[in-house]
């Protein structure tokens, strides 16, 4: 087990996290599954173990909002990985949909706590394991909402802008430790995170064109690519938007989003 490259995945019980876990376990990595949903997490771990072997999977409940839970999760992973962490995949995320003033303060706080503060604390807690693993990488799950703030997703967009900035800064800071840092940027993905919320106007305009496996394929590329790259857009639609972001004036971005979301 300890000779295998290892990856810690948050939000691993379902959706994108689960698809990524399947991808890496199939490639003979040690996969650490962490999620607040303990029952679903155990089911996912059991299924992966049955398919790929118990020596490729470890799991533990994790609430990224709780600093003690974060420290315990990293310690748990270290026990199973021999003190190494080849990849940290910060995938856990939540989203509250609605006009800014209609979303409760508690929901705004939860979005920031999970999507940003939890990511910061887990990345910080993982630093020593990453530093001690040659060629380690941090992959942060960002979003198309990191390109331009999306109406009805204000707090979510804010956190993804922050994740993008953090990724850019740490890619420069941690290069001296041989740690690469990047973000993965999908548009709308067919997961419970999306289906469990009210339908967005932007979602209706752009469509849901990605499956979790599409994102997992790009995560795999980001984890194994030789060349340095900070941002990894997912899918043709997002690649076009990412390229256009460097060329289109801000005024046109604003008008396009205003038209799509009818605000």
129-141: pLDDT as tens digits: 999 999 999 999 9
Whether the pLDDT of residue 255 is over 90: the answer is no
pTM for this predicted structure: 0.87
Parallel/antiparallel/unpaired status of strands 87-90 and 57-61: unpaired
List the beta bridge partners of residue 8: 32, 88
Structural domain contains residue 140? yes
With 70 as the cut, is the pLDDT of residue 1 above it? no
Give the range of the structural domain holding residue 156, as residue numbers without chain letter: 6-261
Overall number of domains in the chain: 1
For 78-104, write each residue's pLDDT tens digit.
999 999 999 999 999 999 989 999 999
Provide, rounded to the nearest whole percent, the portion of the chain with pLDDT above 70: 81
* CA dist., res. 131 & res. 141, Å (int): 21
Q: Is residue 1 situated within a structural domain?
A: no
Task: Kindly indicate the confidence band of residue 187, based on its pLDDT and cuts at 50, 70 and 90.
Answer: confident
Give the phi and the psi of residue 175 in degrees, each rounded to 5: -60, -35
Distances (CA, A) of 103 to 97, 120, 158, 167: 7, 24, 14, 27
pLDDT: which is higher, 151 or 254: 151
Residue 90 covered by a domain:
yes
Which stretches does DSSP call E strand in 176-226? 179-185
168 in any annotated domain: yes
| Residue 244 to residue 107: CA distance in whole angstroms | 32
Q: Which residue has the tokens 């087990």?
A: 1
The reply to whether 54 falls in a domain is yes
Catalytic residue among 34, 148, 156, 242: 156
The whole-number pLDDT of residue 251 equals: 56
Residue 145, Cβ density class (10 Å: 0-12 exposed, 13-18 middle, ≥19 buried)? buried
Per the annotation, the verdict on 34 as an active-site residue is no
Q: Map residue 51 onto helix, strand or coil.
A: helix
Among 160, 155, 29, which residue's Cα sits nearest to residue 101?
Answer: 155
In a domain, 142, yes or no: yes
Domain CATH code at residue 231 = 3.40.50.720
């Amino acid at each position: 087990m300890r000779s295998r490259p290892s990856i810690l995945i948050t939000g691993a019980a379902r959706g994108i996290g689960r698809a990524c876990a399947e991808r890496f376990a199939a490639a003979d990595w040690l996969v650490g599954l962490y999620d607040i949903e303990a029952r679903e997490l155990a089911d996912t771990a059991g299924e992966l173990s049955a398919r790929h072997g118990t020596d490729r999977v470890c799991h533990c409940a994790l609430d990224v909002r709780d600093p003690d839970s974060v420290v315990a999760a990293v310690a748990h992973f270290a026990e199973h990985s021999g003190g190494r962490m080849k990849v940290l995949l910060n995938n856990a995320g939540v989203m509250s949909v609605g006009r800014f003033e209609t979303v409760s303060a508690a929901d705004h706080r939860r979005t920031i706590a999970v999507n940003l503060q939890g990511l910061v604390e887990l990345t910080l807690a993982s630093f020593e394991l990453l530093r001690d693993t040659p060629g380690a990488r941090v992959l942060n799950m960002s979003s198309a909402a990191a390109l331009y703030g999306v109406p009805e997703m204000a707090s979510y967009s804010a956190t993804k802008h922050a994740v993008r900035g953090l990724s850019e800064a740490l890619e420069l800071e941690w290069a001296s430790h041989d740690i690469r840092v990047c973000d993965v940027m999908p548009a709308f993905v067919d997961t419970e995170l999306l289906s469990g919320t009210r339908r967005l106007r932007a979602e209706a305009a752009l469509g849901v064109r990605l499956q979790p496996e599409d994102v997992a394929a790009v995560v795999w590329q980001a984890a194994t690519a030789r060349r340095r790259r900070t941002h990894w857009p997912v899918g043709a639609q997002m690649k076009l938007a990412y390229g256009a972001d460097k060329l289109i004036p801000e005024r046109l971005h604003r008008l396009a989003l205003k038209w799509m979301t009818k605000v």
